[in-house]
Amino acid sequence: MIDATKESRPLAEEERGKDNILLAKLTSILNQEEIYWKQKAGVTWLKEDDGNTSYFHSVTNGHRNRNFIPWVWHDNQRVGDIGRISDIFTSFYKDLYGSTKEHRFQINWSNLLGTKEQCDLTALDIPFTHEEIREVVFGMSVDKAPGPNGLPILFFQKFWEIIKLDIFKLCDDFYWGKR
């Protein structure tokens, strides 16, 4: 409506102020939408500022349609209810990966290598160094979708000096089987 008014007459000071506020809000919403689709599509070439959001909508919807599972066989029955399918998958993977056994197995490398050339493999079973962890974090692409915690890799890179000790502790806890 303001655009139509601008074409027919000059805007008053108050109208120009409202127009600027609305334009700023629209720009912010469009930027948020672009960020959403950039993360949703997980494509690196969006960096080139391709504003064709309908294309990205179709890409994302295409992924969803391709990945949709209309039914599964469970206990010799065809199950088509989405909630039930979700429960079946969740149960299957909890059973598969949900083992609470805590063990740290040891490999006898001399049995595996036999008479082959001796090599030092102890580095495979030592904790991660802080430099290795940092290299991994900064080697990741910032244009990928965020992880399960909702934070994009850019967050970890930008605030590295603040959070690095927590990341190091997380990696140490993982190595020692605490998480």
Q: Provide CB contacts within 8 A for 36, sequence distance 6+.
A: none
Residue pLDDT tens, the chain, 179 long: 666 676 677 878 888 888 788 888 888 888 888 887 777 666 554 554 455 567 667 777 777 777 788 889 999 999 989 889 889 988 888 887 765 556 566 777 677 766 666 667 677 788 889 999 999 999 998 888 887 778 889 999 999 999 999 999 999 988 888 86
Cα 147 to chain centroid, rounded: 3
Whether the model pTM is above 0.85: no
* CA 103/CA 111 separation, integer angstroms: 21
